[in-house]
Amino acid sequence: MKVVVVGAGAMGTLFGGRLARTGHQVVFVDTDPARVATIAADGVWENDTPARCEAAMPGVVEGEADLLILFTKSQYTAAAMAQNAGALRPDGMVLTLQNGLGNDVAIADVVGADRVLVGITNWPADLLGHGRIHVAGHGTVKFWSLTGEDRPVIHQVAAALAEADLGATAEPSVKAAIWEKVIFNAALNGICALTRMTVGQVGDFPPARDLASQVVEEGIAIAKANDVAVDDERVRQSVAFAMANHRAHKPSMLQDVEAGRLTEVDAIQGGLLATAHRHSVPAPALSNCTALLRSLDQNVRSS
Ligand SMILES: NC(=O)C1=CN([C@@H]2O[C@H](COP(=O)(O)OP(=O)(O)OC[C@H]3O[C@@H](n4cnc5c(N)ncnc54)[C@H](OP(=O)(O)O)[C@@H]3O)[C@@H](O)[C@H]2O)C=CC1
Ligand SMILES: CC(C)(CO)C(=O)C(=O)O
């Protein structure tokens, strides 16, 4: 396959690098000229393992790609799609495994719902420098078509990701998994970003761990009020699993805070909170975390 990875950060580097190592032609697209130049010259590196690939600025690649994998932060989804949809051949597909709610719809607005594959991943990747990542544990990928239809391309993409050792499965009931992930991220990414603790440190410190549990319980109630059949125990277990096994990982939202970037609060905590308001579900812990994260973003905007 010819694959364009839009967003050459932590996750783009992981997915693009592994696909390149299993024989796919991978082009990274990123807005940072220094990052693009470094990847074009040196390829990408996962720990000590390199992969050769191409790199380009947005809007330069045209017309040939079978698959575009979007790994920008959610606040840049619409802009990144507007700039890079032309990289796809007319029936090429877009895969989003980004965190948060609403990325799928923003992509469908540009290419049409029948060209969108949507899902989740819990691979923990930390960006060390341009084209260089550390992967703090193992993860999986689940996705399906946005329209819900079963199509051969879903299985072709799943096979390519599985062959690249990304633990991918095609999963028709992905909607519940997406909500379970957003609840997980609202709790863990938010509290790690606010406290600057790693996942393991939050798990070890009872006040932080209890706050994470409150956000999880509120998130479960919000999903159910919105008629999404999340599995309560699976959400709790996923948080406990990350606390035990992804101990050193700095969630992507903490990486944003440390780098002085805007966070994905509007797509993650904000997406859940808007749903809570629509269904009049009380969510005091989520609401307070959202206000604090939006305050951090406000600092970034005014600095
Ligand atoms: N890191 C992780 O472990 C995980 C992350 N995720 C999710 O995956 C997504 C990507 O996260 P992550 O890889 O950590 O993010 P990063 O911030 O590391 O990477 C995103 C990259 O996209 C670039 N970018 C921004 N706008 C555009 C654009 N218009 N066109 C092309 N590139 C652009 C950014 O540049 P710049 O920095 O200059 O803005 C940056 O290099 C997020 O939704 C995140 O929540 C999901 C699971 C795990
Ligand atoms: C890896 C994981 C699951 C940890 O919070 C994540 O989604 C992130 O860092 O954004």
Same domain? For 152 and 182 the reply is: no
Same domain? For 181 and 294 the reply is: yes
Closest residue to atom 41 of ligand 1, CA basis = 9
- The model's pLDDT over 9-32, given as tens digits with 9 standing for 90+, comes to 999 999 999 999 999 999 999 999
Q: Which domain holds residue 227?
A: 175-302
Q: 121: Cβ below 6 Å to ligand 1? A: yes
Q: 187: Cβ below 6 Å to ligand 2? A: no
Q: 184: Cβ below 6 Å to ligand 1? A: no
Q: 181: Cβ below 6 Å to ligand 1? A: no
Q: How far is the CA of 255 from the centre of ligand 2 (A)?
A: 10
Q: 188: Cβ below 6 Å to ligand 2? A: yes
- The model's pLDDT over 68-123, given as tens digits with 9 standing for 90+, comes to 999 999 999 999 999 999 999 999 999 999 999 999 999 999 999 999 999 999 99
For the chain, what is the mean pLDDT?
97
Same domain? For 197 and 147 the reply is: no
Q: Report ipTM (2 d.p.).
A: 0.98
- The model's pLDDT over 247-299, given as tens digits with 9 standing for 90+, comes to 998 999 999 999 999 999 999 999 999 999 999 999 999 999 999 999 999 99
Q: 182: Cβ below 6 Å to ligand 1? A: no
Q: How far is the CA of 75 from the centre of ligand 1 (A)?
A: 10
Among 137, 157, 172, the domain-final residue is 172
Q: What is the pTM of this model?
A: 0.95
Q: 281: Cβ below 6 Å to ligand 2? A: no
- The model's pLDDT over 114-128, given as tens digits with 9 standing for 90+, comes to 999 999 999 989 999
Closest residue to atom 5 of ligand 1, CA basis = 252
Closest residue to atom 5 of ligand 2, CA basis = 251
Same domain? For 92 and 223 the reply is: no
Closest residue to atom 22 of ligand 1, CA basis = 7
Under the banding of pLDDT at 50, 70 and 90, the label for residue 63 is confident
Same domain? For 146 and 190 the reply is: no
Closest residue to atom 19 of ligand 1, CA basis = 9
Same domain? For 70 and 89 the reply is: yes
- Closest-approaching ligand to the CA atom of 187: 2
Ligand 2 pocket test, candidate residues 252, 253, 263, most atoms within 8 A of CB: 252
| Cβ partners under 8 Å of residue 126, min gap 6 | 10, 133, 134, 135, 136, 249, 250, 255
Under the banding of pLDDT at 50, 70 and 90, the label for residue 137 is confident
Question: The CATH number of the domain where 227 resides is what?
Answer: 1.10.1040.10
Among 108, 139, 172, the domain-final residue is 172
Q: How many domains does the chain have?
A: 2
Q: What is the pLDDT of residue 257?
A: 98
Q: How far is the CA of 90 from the centre of ligand 2 (A)?
A: 32
Q: What is the pLDDT of residue 201?
A: 98
Q: 133: Cβ below 6 Å to ligand 1? A: no
Q: 99: Cβ below 6 Å to ligand 2? A: yes
Ligand 1 pocket test, candidate residues 5, 30, 107, 249, most atoms within 8 A of CB: 30
Closest residue to atom 3 of ligand 2, CA basis = 122
Same domain? For 92 and 113 the reply is: yes
Atom of ligand 2 nearest to the CA of 192: 5
Same domain? For 293 and 161 the reply is: no
Same domain? For 155 and 237 the reply is: no
- The model's pLDDT over 149-196, given as tens digits with 9 standing for 90+, comes to 999 999 999 999 999 999 999 999 999 999 999 999 999 999 999 999
Among 157, 172, 187, the domain-final residue is 172
Same domain? For 105 and 211 the reply is: no
Same domain? For 155 and 228 the reply is: no
Question: The CATH number of the domain where 157 resides is what?
Answer: 3.40.50.720
